[in-house]
Chains A and B, each alone.
Chain A
Amino acid sequence: QKEVEQNSGPLSVPEGAIASLNCTYSDRGSQSFFWYRQYSGKSPELIMFIYSNGDKEDGRFTAQLNKASQYVSLLIRDSQPSDSATYLCAVRAGSSASKIIFGSGTRLSIRP
């Protein structure tokens, strides 16, 4: 079982709709969870982080964490063409708080 799993996509969403990205993790002791956006040929850039159960909102982005079910999700409201990118889920592993593991990423495409 992979430590961090994401659906590779591509996920196609119409402009203005809500995009929903999901991530599951295997280490129940994991502490912190991050969502990064990566445009083709560029380095990852942080969108949001979350470490408490529940929702965290920042502008059009909402991160949701459910530690009991071991999943974290990212919602993008009012999707824009500029949101088209690969979204990477990253988890700070519980056994070693210094180790950060990434999922394989989900490609998101926003169609006009």
Chain B
Amino acid sequence: NAGVTQTPKFRILKIGQSMTLQCTQDMNHNYMYWYRQDPGMGLKLIYYSVGAGITDKGEVPNGYNVSRSTTEDFPLRLELAAPSQTSVYFCASTLQGGDQPQHFGDGTRLSIL
């Protein structure tokens, strides 16, 4: 059981470049999330999705886009990368339900130079 898989694990981008961070889960979870974590800080919610075709903004959505065409996949798109987007990005998923915990991927460490 793979759980939540994120790719790539590391990436260096130049300012202005674009890229997509991939996230896939094999637990048939309907809720999926993207967070960013800056050094020494907590997790900030970027976007989340409650099911295929449904997405919503979190705390820090500017500069990012998401899509949810399938239950399994929830890619995060960075357009026109900026140094402020240097961070560790975590994808998480959970079953619907108030007491259901999130399952996290291993993270993508992204540097914008």
Contacts and interface: CB of A to CB of B under 8 A. Distances in A.
B58 interface: yes
Interface residues of A, number: 25
B43 A88 contact: yes
B33 A32 contact: no
Interface in A3-18: 6, 8
Contact of A98 (B31, B40, B106): B31
Contacts of B48: 98-100
Contacts of A100: 33, 45, 48, 94, 102
Contacts of B107: 43
What size tier do the contact residues of chain B reach?
20 to 34
A75 B102 CA distance: 21
B42 A43 contact: no
A31 B98 contact: yes
Interface in B34-60: 35, 40-45, 48, 50, 56, 58-59
A102 B90 CA distance: 13
A43 B106 contact: yes
B106 to A, nearest CB: 6
B35 A102 contact: yes
Interface in A26-51: 31-32, 34, 42-46, 49, 51
B45 A43 contact: no
Contacts of B98: 31-32, 51, 92, 97
Interface of B: 31, 33, 35, 40-45, 48, 50, 56, 58-59, 90, 94, 96, 98-99, 101-102, 104-107
Interface of A: 6, 8, 31-32, 34, 42-46, 49, 51, 88, 90, 92, 96-105
